[in-house]
Amino acid sequence: MREILLNQFLQRNNLSHFQRINLAGDASTRRYERLTDQEKTFILMDAPPPETISQFMGVAKILSDRGYSPPKIYATDVENGFLLLEDLGDGLFARLIETGEDEEGLYKLAVDLLLTLRCAPSPSELPKFTDDYILSQNQMFLDWYVPDNFESLITESGRSDYEEIWRSLLKKIPIGPEVILLRDFHAENLLLLKGRKGVKALGLLDFQDALVGPAAYDLVSLLQDARRDVAPDVVAKMITYYIEETGLDERDFRASYAILGAHRALRILGIFTRLAKKEGKQRYLRLVPRMLHHLHTNLEHPELQGLKLFLDQLKGKKKDP
């Protein structure tokens, strides 16, 4: 049935004769194809319900109106979840760096875009990155990663202690103005677009879950990548560059960065475990060691000693491999 709906969408847009090439997907149920007739190319997004393409469309318009480079949208089928998009090419940061492109230069371009996000008011139509959202997302670590890796489940008392620790940390996150958070802002969702200048040269993908919240989040997403190791000197330079360009208090910003980094690592550890156990996507377990490394790095910040102690207490209950 899905294929019938897709073929109807292609027919309505005179694309039935185009060759269809599967592209790598992500952790969601969305999938992508490149459509080509050797003269033109497009990207097809197939987002079956309950996924909604209206979120992608809304954020794409915000970004485009502000002078950034999301893919243009050429045709839509909101009811069935199909989008025909501009093909921004194959210049993904991750791929370019593997072939010798300057890593520092690419990451500086990404940070430059994050810096410009601070220059316009945050859009009122996007949901907020609230304390309640953070607390609910943190539960995925307790619900999925802990049962799969530790002998004892978290008690209600343990959950209360975890939440109390986080409620204290949440007060230290807001630093500087709230901005658009693209959320999945990392090297496999960023493209270098030849022939475009400034931040327009940065192609943007996978931003449909955008929120409004603390600016440090997307910097964490960029530099604490689940899929590749960013060179330590590049990480250090980009954090320093961001602080210098914004004029933010370094101590406060680094605390916010570490707290958001810990939140993101715990959330992703839960998500990857869920994808492996519930949906059979075992490939995500290969990324767990890198996320554990990011978590431990963040836990070295003095503000996170309470959380570190809580997590250290779990280590004595670790399951045998």
Q: Do 177 and 260 have their domain in common?
A: yes
Predicted confidence band at 1 (pLDDT cuts at 50, 70, 90)? confident
Averaged confidence pLDDT in the chain: 94
Let me know if residue 9 belongs to a domain: yes
- Answer yes or no: do 80 and 228 share one domain: no
Confidence band for 144, pLDDT divided at 50, 70 and 90: very high
57 and 110 together in one domain: no
Residue 157, pLDDT > 70, answer yes
DSSP-derived 3-state class of residue 297: helix
320 falls within a domain:
no
Any domain includes 15: yes
- pLDDT (mean) for 225-250: 97
Rounded distance between C-alpha atoms, residue 33 and residue 15, angstroms: 13
Whether 260 is covered by a domain: the verdict is: yes
Domain count, the chain: 2
152 has a pLDDT exceeding 90 = no
Tell me the pLDDT band of 318, cut-offs 50, 70 and 90.
Answer: low
Quickly state the pLDDT bin for 151 (edges 50, 70, 90). Answer: confident
- The answer, yes or no, to whether residue 317 has pLDDT greater than 80, is no
User: What is the SS3 assignment for 21?
Assistant: strand
Task: Please check the confidence at residue 139 and state whether its pLDDT lies above 90.
Answer: yes
pLDDT score of 69 more than 90: yes
Q: Which of 59, 86, 113 is the last residue of a domain?
A: 86
Stretch 65-71: mean pLDDT, rounded? 97
| CATH at residue 35 | 3.30.200.20
Name the residue range of residue 59's domain: 2-86
**SS3 state of residue 174:** coil
Cis peptide before 50 (omega within 30 of 0): yes
| Cβ neighbours, 10 Å, residue 297 | 16
Shared domain for 106 and 188, answered yes or no, is: yes
Burial classification of residue 254, based on how many CB atoms lie within 10 Å of its CB (0-12 exposed, 13-18 middle, 19 or more buried):
middle
The backbone torsions φ and ψ at residue 30, rounded to the nearest 5 degrees and listed phi first, read: -65, 145
Query: Of 60, 86, 112, which residue sits at a domain end?
Result: 86
- Residues 65 and 101 both lie in one domain: no
Q: What is the CATH number of the domain that holds 160?
A: 3.90.1200.10
Alpha-helix runs per DSSP H in 118-208: 131-140, 146-149, 156-170
Quote the percentage of the chain above a pLDDT of 90: 88
Question: Is residue 239 domain-resident?
Answer: yes
Mean pLDDT of 25-35: 81
Query: What mean pLDDT is predicted for residues 225-244?
Result: 98
Question: To which residue do tokens 């996170």 refer?
Answer: 304
CA 259 to chain centre: 16
Confidence check: pLDDT of 321 > 60: no
Query: Does residue 44 sit in the same domain as residue 191?
Result: no
pLDDT single digits (tens) 245-292 = 999 999 999 999 999 999 999 999 999 999 999 999 999 999 999 999
Structural domain ending residue among the three candidates 52, 86, 120: 86
In this structure, the answer to whether residues 278 and 220 fall within a common structural domain is: yes
pLDDT at position 223 is 98
Q: Phi/psi class of residue 218: alpha, beta or left (left: φ > 0; alpha: ψ in -120 to 50)?
A: alpha
Q: Please report whether residue 225 resides in a domain.
A: yes
Burial 181-205 (b: 16+ CB within 10 A, else e): bbbbbbbbbbbbeeeeeebebbbbb
Q: Are both 223 and 119 inside the same structural domain?
A: yes
In this structure, the answer to whether residues 8 and 136 fall within a common structural domain is no
The span from the CA of 44 to the CA of 189, in Å, is 16
Confidence class for position 27, pLDDT limits 50, 70, 90: low
Q: What is the DSSP letter of 176?
A: S
CB atoms within 10 A of CB 171: 9
230 within a domain of the structure (yes/no):
yes
Q: Would you state the pLDDT for residue 50?
A: 82
pLDDT score recorded for residue 319: 66
* pLDDT tops 80 at residue 91: yes
What pLDDT, on the 0 to 100 scale, is given for residue 320? Answer: 59
Contact in structure between 128 and 212 (CB atoms under 8 Å): yes
Locate 207 and state its tokens. Answer: 């931003």
d(CA 102, CA 86): 26
Same domain, 175 and 245: yes
Task: Identify each DSSP E strand in the chain by its residue range.
Answer: 19-23, 31-36, 41-46, 73-77, 82-86, 178-181, 190-192, 202-204, 211-214
Give the pLDDT confidence score for residue 272 in this predicted structure: 97
Q: Does 287 lie in the same domain as 138?
A: yes
211 and 239 part of one domain? yes
Residue 321 lies in a domain: no
Q: What is the mean pLDDT of residues 311-320?
A: 75
